[in-house]
């Protein structure tokens, strides 16, 4: 049973470009969470999605950031017009039920903006 997959593992973008981060949850999981982690910082919640629905995007900046989890295919976190401050590790996690269930994390995407 494959775990949570994220790609790419490393992504380098110049300022102003777009970054697309992909997350395939564990098989059978329909809940996906995206987190951002800065060096020596904790995990900051960004967005929680179920298939075709955004449940909670309270942690995601309103501008330049968007997320989706289509009926078919991986969840996508999209960052438009990246700036240096977007450089971070982005982790996605999945769970098979909502509320009070362990989350399985992917290996993360390390985004570097030059």
Among 11, 24, 32, 48, binds other proteins (CB under 8 A): 48
Q: How far apart are CA 15 and CA 29, in angstroms?
A: 34
Instruction: Work out how close the CB of 82 gets to other proteins at its nearest, in angstroms, rounded to a whole number.
Output: 22
Among 28, 39, 42, 85, binds other proteins (CB under 8 A): 42
Among 33, 67, 82, 111, binds other proteins (CB under 8 A): 33
Instruction: Work out how close the CB of 75 gets to other proteins at its nearest, in angstroms, rounded to a whole number.
Output: 15
**28 is an interface residue for other proteins by CB under 8 A:** no
φ/ψ of 96, rounded to 5, equals -95, -10
**69 is an interface residue for other proteins by CB under 8 A:** no
Residues 96 and 38: beta-carbon distance below 8 Å: no
Q: How far apart are CA 43 and CA 37, in angstroms?
A: 5
User: Is 70 in a helix, a strand, or coil?
Assistant: coil
**83 is an interface residue for other proteins by CB under 8 A:** no
Count CA within 13 A, CB hemisphere, residue 40: 0
Using CB under 8 A, list all residues that contact other proteins.
31, 33, 35, 40-45, 48, 55-56, 58-59, 91, 93, 98-108
């Amino acid at each position: 049973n494959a775990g949570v997959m994220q790609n790419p593992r490393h992504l380098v973008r110049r300022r102003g470009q777009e970054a697309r981060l992909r997350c395939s949850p564990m098989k059978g999981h329909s809940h996906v969470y995206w987190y951002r982690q800065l060096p020596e910082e904790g995990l900051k919640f960004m967005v929680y999605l179920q298939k075709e629905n955004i449940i909670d995007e309270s942690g995601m900046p309103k501008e330049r950031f968007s997320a989706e989890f289509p009926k078919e295919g991986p969840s996508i976190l999209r960052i438009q017009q990246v700036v240096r401050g977007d450089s971070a590790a982005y982790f996605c996690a999945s769970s098979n039920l909502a509320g009070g269930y362990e989350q399985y994390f992917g290996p993360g995407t390390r985004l570097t903006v030059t």
